[in-house]
Amino acid sequence: MQPLKQLTQSLRILADREHCVFSDSDLAAAVPGCGHLAGLLSRATKAGLLKRVCRGIYLYPVPDYPPGHLLFHAAARLRAREFNYISLETVLSEAGVISQVPMNWITIMTSGRSHVVNCGDYGHIEFVHTAQSPADVSRELTYAPDRRLWRASVRQALRDMKATRRNLELIDEEAARELV
């Protein structure tokens, strides 16, 4: 069977609203023995079967997929082997502690290296390194299943802002006191 047809059949069977963001290694497992995966993924993207989110991450378009979660799902796949949690400006803007809402930009604390991933029209994922272990912050994290990542409390996000020397001028101190 042609590799593109095999990939198409596998995705029709495996993908659904909850599982439609794949890493290139996930897709390689769907077509074992494919000699040139990069070429196959390029053809699948040109054919409209997949949409490239960023390097190594692809979206299989399914109906009713929540587009606001794509960057979070991509971040979870990109750093699946690291300790990650949503924090910094993302958490503080959602809580109303900072007035500016980052558009198409999410901030993730990670045990991996700091790096900004450009996801083209979808936005950016900013990974910020932390030396904290999961045990250090576990009381301040809750799991967000819709985003497939841990999420920091406002208290932890404020600590992370200070620890990473981020700009604190946008923080509404009164709103922060109410939530902490």
What are the tens digits of pLDDT across the range 47-73?
A: 999 999 999 999 999 888 887 899 999
- In the prediction, which pLDDT does 1 show? 59
130 and 85 fall within a common domain: yes
Distance of CA 54 to the CA centre of its chain: 11
**Could you tell me if 79 and 101 lie in one domain?**
yes
Which segments in the chain show pLDDT lower than 50? none
What pLDDT score does 163 carry? 95
- The model's pTM is 0.91
104 with 28, same domain: the answer is: no
Q: How far apart are CA 20 and CA 17, in angstroms?
A: 6
pLDDT for 130 equals: 96
Whether residues 45 and 76 fall in one domain = no
pLDDT at residue 172, rounded to an integer: 81
Q: How many domains does the chain have?
A: 2
Cα–Cα distance for residue pair 98/169, rounded to 1 Å: 9
60 within 8 A of 10, measured Cβ to Cβ = no
> What's the confidence (pLDDT) of residue 139?
97
